[in-house]
Amino acid sequence: MVARFNHEGIAAVMPRHGGGRRRTYSDAHRARILAAVCRVAVRAGPRGWSVATVQRALREDGDDRLRTVSHPVVRQVLRAAGWQWDRAPGWNPQPAAPGSRSDPSAIPAGARTDVGGAEP
């Protein structure tokens, strides 16, 4: 570190890449993978698509970078975007956690759900 500071000056103490493999696919590539997932899911229905069909659609798109995208990469992108695998229906956007504010079954029967406080 001292030798690098003597050679580079104050720039030597600035944070650098911390090691490990750099990301292979950029955020733009990941967005295109998610767009392909949505396109394939709409076309095939909720149970008619798989990661392999998404890979096929990416190969047909013509982007050289995404032609060779692997099965694990598509899964990682789906999981990072909040999708989860359900055995019966397949990949789905992650539902609300049980008991969370966005879970409609967590609202007790007869509870007031109006925000303003006024009765309808």
- Evaluate whether 120 touches 114 at the Cβ level (below 8 Å): yes
Please indicate whether residue 44 or residue 33 has the higher confidence score (pLDDT).
Answer: 33
Residues facing 92 on adjacent strands:
84
**Domain membership of residue 64 as a residue range:** 26-93
Confidence band, pLDDT 50/70/90 cuts, at residue 26 = confident
Give the burial class of 22: count Cβ atoms within 10 A of its Cβ; 0-12 exposed, 13-18 middle, 19 or more buried.
exposed
Confidence band, pLDDT 50/70/90 cuts, at residue 117 = very low
Please indicate whether residue 60 or residue 102 has the higher confidence score (pLDDT).
Answer: 60
**Would you say residue 66 lies in a domain?**
yes
Q: What is the pLDDT of residue 119?
A: 43
**Would you say residue 60 lies in a domain?**
yes
**Would you say residue 34 lies in a domain?**
yes
Q: What is the pLDDT of residue 82?
A: 85
The tokens 């990941």 sit on which residue? 30
